[in-house]
């Protein structure tokens, strides 16, 4: 494909739609360090990858057994587009247990992963040309989701000194011309959990400026400090909030591609029409496996989350001994966000040099937006002993700069 989005076909020039050609905004997606690390691994170099949020444990065999049993029994035909009634009820019960917000099966639409839920939610909330807000720093796919939906993207800047929590002034100023706001708590990439005061401020701005709020809550089972607060439960927010969830992080089912949207029942019914013309449902045997996994209860989710809780505690013990790096409060999710500006380097410079000299791959903060410049994100996604060793080497590297 040419940069202009044109294709040559038998001497003719075919032009792609602006929606497709502009998904990446015409520039870099900021993932060059990750791609270079993968090339080095492919060439046989022993690179330690601390880049993406993929569990080092696999999906539990009991879930795979349930998936196989469902497929073996014949559940390989078309499935109900909004999700099976039993799975929707389990998702609703889980959300209500975690948040205390009354939720029924009719409030739930099952999607092919949290990513599909994000896309569907924005297609539902925004017309082509509308402006959608994203808090910066952000998960790498967010801007592309809005562009693919035909929307204009506007970033809401945050500051490292505020632990990357959005502030009322910046948010209210951006909201004047916007139609939606996308938030993520617990947050990727920062590991910050939004407190009640921040969520209430967000709710106030959304109500005051008549915004849709799309709340990405895929890390809701990974809370180390504070509590998970879903803005859907705040006064006046149920009718304007779409919650995105997923089995990926809570149950280590990243490859199963199963997620959901939770929202007003009449809105969910409308988004179901989109699912009908898009994915036409999630495979029934995967839905059955997800239902089985959810029925294992909060203890099962805690077992998966405790791996990252433990590594967070190990990391804090190591990082509190250095002045070369500052750890953004690691309150949730599977990442550490490190301020590397005391080394005199940008996040990109630090990550590239760390990869070259120590064969350790981390993500530059610049991959997640301008607000995270001068930071790096470390994914805690390798076994404890090599993770601790790699983090100590990263600290030693920083202190040498």
Whether the domain at 28-57+299-400 and the domain at 61-295 fall into the same CATH topology: no
Using an 8 Å Cβ cutoff, are 382 and 48 in contact? yes
Q: How confident is the model at residue 1 (pLDDT cuts 50, 70, 90)?
A: very low
* Beta-carbon contacts of residue 389 (< 8 Å; ≥ 6 apart): none
Convert the pLDDT of each residue in 209-222 to its tens digit. Answer: 999 999 999 999 99
Q: Which of 17-21, 95-99, 308-312 has the lowest mean pLDDT?
A: 17-21
CATH number for the region 61-295 comes to 3.40.640.10
* Beta-carbon contacts of residue 224 (< 8 Å; ≥ 6 apart): 309, 312, 330, 331, 332
Q: How confident is the model at residue 21 (pLDDT cuts 50, 70, 90)?
A: confident
Convert the pLDDT of each residue in 158-171 to its tens digit. Answer: 999 999 999 999 99
DSSP letter at 332? B
Distances (CA, A) of 93 to 102, 213, 262, 268, 305: 9, 22, 12, 17, 20
Q: Angle at the Cα of 191 (from 186 to 196), degrees rounded to 5? A: 45
CA R_g for the chain: 21
* Beta-carbon contacts of residue 214 (< 8 Å; ≥ 6 apart): 118, 121, 122, 125, 180, 181, 182, 183, 241, 242, 244
pLDDT of 293 strictly over 70: yes
Compute the distance between CA of residue 137 and CA of residue 164 in angstroms, rounded to an integer: 8
Q: How confident is the model at residue 26 (pLDDT cuts 50, 70, 90)?
A: low
| Residue 178, CA atoms < 13 Å, CB-side half-sphere | 28
Compute the distance between CA of residue 263 and CA of residue 248 in angstroms, rounded to an integer: 20
Q: What is the pLDDT of residue 253?
A: 98
Q: Of 401, 394, 400, nearest to 50 (Cα)? A: 394
pLDDT of 125 strictly over 70: yes
Using an 8 Å Cβ cutoff, are 71 and 256 in contact? no
Phi-psi map region of 80: left, alpha, beta (phi>0 left; psi -120 to 50 alpha): beta
Compute the distance between CA of residue 361 and CA of residue 50 in angstroms, rounded to an integer: 6
Strands (E), 76-227: 108-111, 131-136, 152-157, 180-184, 212-216
Convert the pLDDT of each residue in 39-51 to its tens digit. Answer: 999 999 999 999 9
pLDDT of 27 strictly over 60: no
Q: State what percent of residues in the chain have pLDDT above 90.
A: 92
Q: What is the pLDDT of residue 11?
A: 64
Q: What is the pLDDT of residue 180?
A: 98
**What residue ranges do the domains of the chain occupy?**
28-57+299-400, 61-295
H-helix or E-strand spanning residue 50: none
Looking at CATH, the fold of the domain delimited by 28-57+299-400 is given as 3.90.1150
Q: What is the pLDDT of residue 29?
A: 57
């Amino acid at each position: 494909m040419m940069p202009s989005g044109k294709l040559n076909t038998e001497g003719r020039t075919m032009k792609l739609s602006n929606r497709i050609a502009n998904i990446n905004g015409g520039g870099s997606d900021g993932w060059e360090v990750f791609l270079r690390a993968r090339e080095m691994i492919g060439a046989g170099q022993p690179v330690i990858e601390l880049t993406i949020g993929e569990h080092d444990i696999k999906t539990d065999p009991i879930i795979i057994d349930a998936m196989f049993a469902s497929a073996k029994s014949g559940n390989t035909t078309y499935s109900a587009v909004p999700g099976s009634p039993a799975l929707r009820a389990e998702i609703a019960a889980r959300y209500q247990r975690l948040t205390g917000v009354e939720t029924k099966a009719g409030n739930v639409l099952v999607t092919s992963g949290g990513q599909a839920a994000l896309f569907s939610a924005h297609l539902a909330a925004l017309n082509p040309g509308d402006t959608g807000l994203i808090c910066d720093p952000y998960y790498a796919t967010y801007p592309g989701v809005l562009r693919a939906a035909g929307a204009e993207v506007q970033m809401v800047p945050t500051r490292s000194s505020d632990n990357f929590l959005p502030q009322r002034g910046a948010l209210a100023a951006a909201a004047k011309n916007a139609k939606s706001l996308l938030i993520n708590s617990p947050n990727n990439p920062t590991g910050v959990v939004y407190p009640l005061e921040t969520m209430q401020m967000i709710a106030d701005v959304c109500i005051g400026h008549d915004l849709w709020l799309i709340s990405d809550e895929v890390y809701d089972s990974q809370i180390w400090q504070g509590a998970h607060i879903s803005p859907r439960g705040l006064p006046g927010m149920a009718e304007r909030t779409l919650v995105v969830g997923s089995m990926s992080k809570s149950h280590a089912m990243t490859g199963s591609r199963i997620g959901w949207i939770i929202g007003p029942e009449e809105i969910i019914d409308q988004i179901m029409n989109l699912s009908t013309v898009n994915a036409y449902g999630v495979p029934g045997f995967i839905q059955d496996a997800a239902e089985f996994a959810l029925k294992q209860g909060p203890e099962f989710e805690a077992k998966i989350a405790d791996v990252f809780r433990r590594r967070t505690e190990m990391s804090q013990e190591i990082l509190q001994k250095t002045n070369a790096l500052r750890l953004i409060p690691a309150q949730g999710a599977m990442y550490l966000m490190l301020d590397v500006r005391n080394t005199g380097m940008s996040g990109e410079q630090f990550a590239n040099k760390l990869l070259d000299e120590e064969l350790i791959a981390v993500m530059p903060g610049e991959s997640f937006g301008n607000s995270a410049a001068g930071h790096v994100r470390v994914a805690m996604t390798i076994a404890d002993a090599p993770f601790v060793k790699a983090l100590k080497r990263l600290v030693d590297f920083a202190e040498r700069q």
